[in-house]
Structure 1
Amino acid sequence: MAPIVLELDAVLFDMDGTLISSTPAVNSVWTDFASKYGLDYNSILNESHGVQTIVSFRKYLPHLTEEERVEETKRFEAGIVPRASELMAQGKEGLEVLPGVRSLLDQLRQGPVNGWCIVTSATNAYASAALRILGPGLGAMPRDIITADDVSRGKPFPDPYLMGAKRLDVDISRCLVVEDAPAGALSGLAAGSIVLAVGTGYAPKLVQAVNPTYYVDDLSQVSAEWKDGKLFVTINQKD
């Protein structure tokens, strides 16, 4: 299959499952909360990835007040990085940079600061902690990082990616949204962006089911180049 070359204004990345993986740590923390509240662990995992934690708690913990759910969200996300550290100390997977990410980000960093950003459903506290730990593997962070604290409606609503494009001062229709989760892909599509789904987080068949514009197994199949101030992204899809 011939490579696809896109001329774009910017690339907007999801974080977890797209740039980094914290799945073992997140799943472990969900185990604690499922046990505490008597929840169906498998149902939570199938529906919570790519969605703001507070939204999941509103669905699964309707008996709590909103203030209590906010506090539980803070406690949940504050527990992810320490749990990841515990797992890594045991020689297990905790936090890692996903394939192809560093190379692609290095290429994007050759252009202007508004050429890319991160748009995550995580809170600022968790995103900052995770990115700080993985800094050596990821390199310098973008000027703009949109988190759950910045929008009232998270993915699958278009608000997060619309805000990302606004922060960068670019046209959302000339942006590539890179996502691993159905909720995130739907958010990018609803915002009017081109959407590239990656198979590094959610089950590939589930994210493909929402009909993203393109799909790759991981970001080693994607490269970026700046020519005369213009951004060109190449997607090498498999046959």
Structure 2
Amino acid sequence: MRTIVKICGLSTEETLDAAIAAGADMVGLNFYPKSPRFVTPERAAVLAARARGKLAVVALTVDVPLPALGDLVAAVDPDWLQLHGTEDEDTIRAARRTFGRPVMRAVGVSATGDLAAAARFAAVADRVLLDAKPPKGPGALPGGNGIAFDWDLLAGLEAGPYMLSGGLSVGNVAAALAAAPVIGVDVSSGVERAPGVKDPDLIHAFVSAVRAVGPIAARSQLESIAP
């Protein structure tokens, strides 16, 4: 199974086309209003239609109530939902049941104890995104902060539908994959030339760096989940 690559926070046709041409498996559209990567549902619908059938479109939300999430699903028709806030297991179950889409739940990691939450969510979500915990203080974003956590914390992580995020870049993704027992990686700020401004060349370089690592042959016990 090859490593899944998700490029998150796209907002233009140029960068979406770059992700498609590079061979990414998933793209994320960010609906968190405080993020520099925020897109409106109307804009996202245009991008999602352009991506349809080429790669999986993920709608990233933060603590959005189910009725509002339903409006978003109706407008954009994403392939996946990514819950990046404080959503609990019941919310994940309800979202999967109500909208008929697979759900990815992000979990902040800064210590070994955080892996218990990751395992708990892995029992109900289709994927769990292991992300660095955001810095404390006003203005901190739930994700996309360009911060990596200590990947050695994942050494004892049992096989599961885990993806890795947080501070990944062209220069460190190979080392991250060597350290982390995950089925995929998710990058946002690591392929930007400014906050919210993706660089097509960096997108191509990142995907190439992941593909150069090769398939997940050394992790044959991991479940193969198609994007």
Structure 2 length-normalised TM: 0.34
- Could you say which structure has the higher helix fraction? 1
Q: Which has the bigger relative contact order, CA under 8 A and spacing at least 6?
A: 1
Larger Rg: 1
